[in-house]
Structures are given as C-alpha cells and as structure tokens.
C-alpha cells in the first residue's frame, strides 16, 4: 500500500476527530473512504468532502475501484489515510491481495445485534470474526479514538 500511512475503521467516516486530530497529526494529503453505498450517493460524498480539512484531497470509492487504484500505484508519493466503516471491507481487501498496514478501530457504534467491547467499539458477530481474521493474518489491530489515547491491541478487549 504505497503512499498509505494509516488505516482506520470508523463508522462516522470523515468527521471532526479525523479532520482535525488524525489528518493533521499524520500530515496526510488525502483521505480515502472505501464504501460501496457511500460512493454511490452524491449527497453523502458531498458532505464527507465538506468535512475534510482544507488542502486535503478526498477519494470516496467503491471497493473494486479502490483496490484497482491501490494496485496501480495511484497513491505513490502521497500520504493517504484510509477509512472504512467495517472490518469486513478490510478482509475483502486482504482476500483481493492487498497487503494491509496496521489497523486502528476508532468508532463502531452500538447497534442492534452488536456486542460492546469498548466504550466506542461494538461489533456484530460477523465484524468480530473479520477482526479475528485480520489478527490471524498477522495484522496489528488497535483501538484508539484519538492520537493522544494509548494504542491498545483490540484483543485486550475481547
């Protein structure tokens, strides 16, 4: 994943913490969101683009196109933060041959059918299995809301 500096799971996608704390601290020049439904919704894309900090480009793409762009080296020389809503997307990327960086889980809201593992992290059984799959593949997965929080392995909350 040349050009990528951070992968975050956050069901809010681009929002205040990402726009101010994470993107600034990581000195990113692009925020990439991979989500098929959001990529197909012009209103949601416009809102996310407005939430991005000035001077930071956005790519809001469906999974297939994003993986093709990554494979083609479209982000070489950039500093890209990747955001997805669910670990299921990252497992699909892994299955498509993308070598993932360590993953940070920021926020996965409490929803029907989820188990709360940490104040800001609730997962369905399928999402938990996806995180387990990432861990089994040797990918470090942490839970960290903001950069100042301690970087704690997600497995410590299971």
Catalytic residue, candidates 15, 21, 79, 118:
15
DSSP class per residue in 8-63: EEETT-S-HIIIIIIHHHHT-SEEEEE-HHHHT-HHHHHHHHHHSPTT-EEEEE-H
User: Distance (Å, rounded) from C-alpha 61 to C-alpha 59?
Assistant: 6
Active site residue 15: yes
Question: φ and ψ at 56, to 5 degrees?
Answer: -105, 120
145: Cβ contacts below 8 Å, ≥ 6 apart? 17, 106, 107, 120
Cβ count near 21 (within 10 Å): 14
Residues with catalytic annotation? 15
């Amino acid at each position: 994943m040349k050009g990528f500096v951070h992968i975050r799971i956050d069901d809010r996608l681009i929002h205040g913490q990402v726009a101010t704390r994470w993107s600034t601290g990581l000195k990113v020049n692009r925020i990439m969101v991979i989500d098929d439904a959001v990529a197909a919704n012009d209103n949601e894309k416009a809102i996310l683009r407005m939430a991005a900090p000035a001077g930071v480009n956005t790519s809001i793409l469906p999974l297939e196109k994003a993986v093709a762009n990554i494979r083609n080296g479209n982000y070489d020389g950039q500093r890209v933060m990747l955001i997805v809503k669910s670990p299921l997307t990252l497992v699909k990327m892994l299955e498509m041959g993308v070598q993932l960086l360590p993953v940070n889980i920021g926020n996965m809201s409490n929803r029907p059918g989820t188990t709360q593992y940490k104040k800001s992290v609730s997962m369905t059984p399928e999402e938990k299995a996806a995180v387990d799959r990432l861990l089994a593949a040797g990918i470090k997965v942490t839970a960290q809301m903001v950069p100042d929080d301690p970087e704690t392995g997600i497995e410590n909350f299971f």
